[in-house]
């Protein structure tokens, strides 16, 4: 009710003036309902005199009629609208008012009361007062041609390489980036494997001083972002020509700076004086985008989104929308995560979500296989350089693919489990098709979310078959079978894989798919070797804890 009151107060103030001019005649007497009807208010206004007692009786009669009006409005319009309408109706005098000779106007400095000769006219005038202007209600924005968004650069930091071509060639060859964890002693954990990045250098990409202080998720993000710029031909000369107010950064993270935050907690056990003064800014998910923008001088849209493992897709879609709406010409977008540390591993172990196939790490991640026992954690970053088509053409950029659109939905069901009938996934895919204007028949490649969990893989597969099952050309694979689950970075890295498939005409295999789940058609899934495919449109899915679903669509630029 407080919110409703705050919204309607300015309107009610206006209606007061309108209604008073209609019912009471400008500066003449107002209506008794303005004075209220409680006995306390009446006594305060009129005192205990004989004249005051007569007025209280009079007001009581008026109140009963007004209350019937309020009750009717409440039943028709609901309580949130009641306050607005009753405050308006309150300014129409009740029957007793017209029959009374009492000088109410004396309270407001006027001695004459003008009685309206036609009450129907009064109601019509009030109705007109609240009716919106036709000109305002029907005015529309001019129709403009929608701006197209293309991908002109890519940057990655992954367990299979830190260059988009090296990364994708390893995927095509079926190389696994999953191995035993070496960054810390994890002997006490039931899971001791991950898609860990063994060697990584920020030389030439991040200032040494920052490299020592930043969390890895930020280092991965900055490096992948700058690599995307270099891959897109954004040289120093080109950078000087860009309108930096129309260039933005939207790169997210699911977990943020967990290592920085964990180290701060350990330091606090000794004293707050031992804490890193950068622990708060370097732990927050937005600071990677902010630091990259500071480095580049880009003053356009800048923030991060965190929707668990769907983070990257959400960032890519929102970045593209900034370009489509004309708010930016160039956007760096994607995701980054580095959660392979004791607290990160322990947290997912506690969720019972991870594979425990420690004896054979390369076989641990096995989407759609009946012997899967959970997902494998990974780390890294993926960044796309998105650009408005005409802007890209003017500077002679190499266009890798076109972003056609996407969508997101929420299962609204469970924190970690997918909806039993896959309703959220199916709705998301269908909305992505509708938003992008792509027909089901044109989608012949899907990079699935497929993390290698018992429930998730099957629910996604069933939703995809329900939507695309009639397409004989459909091929589906999971990049996670070779690099594990990169959490908030997964969607961006898999978007790179989808774009590389469009560029090369090859889709990478599904490794470890030896005994597909019952009901899974092996003919739809890519086999153990890479396959030739001329892609019409590629769909990439990412889903996250909390029931977040996202689907994005790329196609060859034509």
Quickly list DSSP for 93-143.
--HHHHH----GGGGGT----PPPS-HHHHHHHHHHHHSPPHHHHH--PPP
What is the residue whose two structure tokens read 């006594």?
43
List of residues 6+ apart from 372 with CB closer than 8 A = 355, 366, 452, 453, 454, 457
The C-alpha angle 408, 558, 146, rounded to 5 degrees, equals 50
d(CA 192, CA 385): 35
The Cα 306–Cα 303 span in angstroms is 10
As a whole number of angstroms, the distance between CA 553 and CA 538 comes to 6
Residues 202, 222 contacting (CB under 8 angstroms) = yes
Terminal-residue alpha carbon distance, the chain: 54
CA distances from 490 to 195, 252, 282, 494 (A): 12, 11, 21, 6
> How many C-beta neighbours within 10 Å does residue 137 have?
8
C-alpha separations of 125 from 19, 51, 62 in Å: 8, 34, 22
Determine contact, residues 172/530, Cβ cutoff 8 Å.
yes
CB 332 within 8 A of CB 234: no
Enumerate the active-site residues: 309, 449, 485
């Amino acid at each position: 009710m407080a919110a409703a009151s705050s919204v309607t107060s300015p309107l009610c103030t206006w209606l007061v003036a309108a209604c008073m001019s209609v019912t009471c005649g400008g500066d003449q007497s107002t209506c008794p309902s303005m004075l209220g009807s409680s006995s306390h208010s009446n006594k305060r206004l009129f005192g205990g005199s004989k004249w005051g007692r007569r007025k209280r009786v009079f007001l009581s009669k008026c109140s009963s009629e007004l209350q019937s009006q309020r009750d009717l409005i409440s039943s028709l319009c609901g309580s949130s609208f009641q306050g607005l309408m009753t405050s308006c109706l309150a300014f129409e005098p009740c029957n007793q008012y017209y029959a009374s000779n009492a000088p109410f106007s004396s309270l407001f400095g006027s001695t004459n009361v003008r009685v309206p000769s036609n009450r129907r006219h009064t109601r019509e005038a009030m109705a007109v007062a609240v009716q919106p202007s036709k000109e305002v209600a029907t005015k529309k924005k001019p129709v403009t041609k929608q701006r197209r968004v293309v991908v002109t650069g890519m940057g990655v930091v992954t367990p299979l390489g830190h260059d988009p071509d090296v990364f994708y060639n390893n995927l095509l060859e079926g190389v696994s980036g999953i191995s035993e964890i070496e960054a810390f002693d994890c002997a006490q954990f039931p899971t001791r494997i991950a898609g860990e990045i063994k060697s990584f250098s920020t030389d030439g990409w991040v200032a040494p001083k920052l490299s020592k202080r930043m969390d890895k998720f930020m280092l991965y993000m900055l490096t992948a972002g700058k690599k995307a710029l270099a891959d897109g031909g954004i040289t120093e000369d080109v950078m000087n020509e860009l309108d930096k107010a129309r260039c933005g950064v939207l790169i997210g993270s699911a977990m943020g700076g967990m290592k920085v935050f964990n180290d701060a907690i350990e330091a606090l056990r000794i004293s707050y004086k031992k804490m890193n003064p950068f622990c708060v800014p370097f732990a927050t998910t937005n600071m990677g985008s902010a630091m990259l923008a500071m480095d580049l001088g880009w003053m356009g849209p800048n923030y991060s989104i965190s929707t668990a493992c769907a983070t990257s897709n959400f960032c890519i879609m929102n970045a593209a929308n900034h370009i489509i709406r004309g708010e930016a010409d160039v956007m760096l977008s994607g995701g980054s995560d580095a959660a392979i540390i004791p607290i990160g591993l322990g947290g997912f172990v506690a969720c019972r979500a991870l594979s425990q196939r420690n004896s054979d790490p390369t076989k641990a991640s096995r989407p759609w296989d009946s012997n899967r026992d959970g997902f494998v954690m990974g780390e890294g970053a993926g960044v796309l350089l998105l650009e408005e088509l005409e802007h890209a053409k003017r500077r002679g950029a190499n266009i890798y693919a076109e972003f056609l659109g996407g969508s997101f939905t929420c299962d609204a069901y469970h924190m970690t489990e997918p909806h039993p009938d896959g309703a959220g996934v199916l709705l998301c895919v269908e909305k992505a098709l509708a938003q992008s204007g792509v027909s089901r028949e044109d989608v012949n490649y899907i990079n699935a979310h497929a993390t290698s969990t018992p429930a998730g893989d099957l629910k996604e597969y069933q939703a995809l078959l329900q939507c695309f099952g009639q397409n004989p050309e459909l091929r589906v694979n999971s990049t996670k079978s070779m690099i594990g689950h990169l959490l908030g970075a997964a969607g961006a890295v898999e978007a790179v894989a989808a774009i590389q498939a469009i560029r090369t005409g090859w889709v990478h295999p599904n490794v470890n798919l030896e005994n597909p789940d019952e009901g899974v058609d092996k003919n739809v899934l890519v086999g153990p070797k890479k396959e030739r495919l001329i892609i019409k449109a590629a769909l990439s899915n990412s889903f996250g804890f909390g029931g977040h679903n996202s689907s994005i669509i790329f196609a060859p630029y034509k």
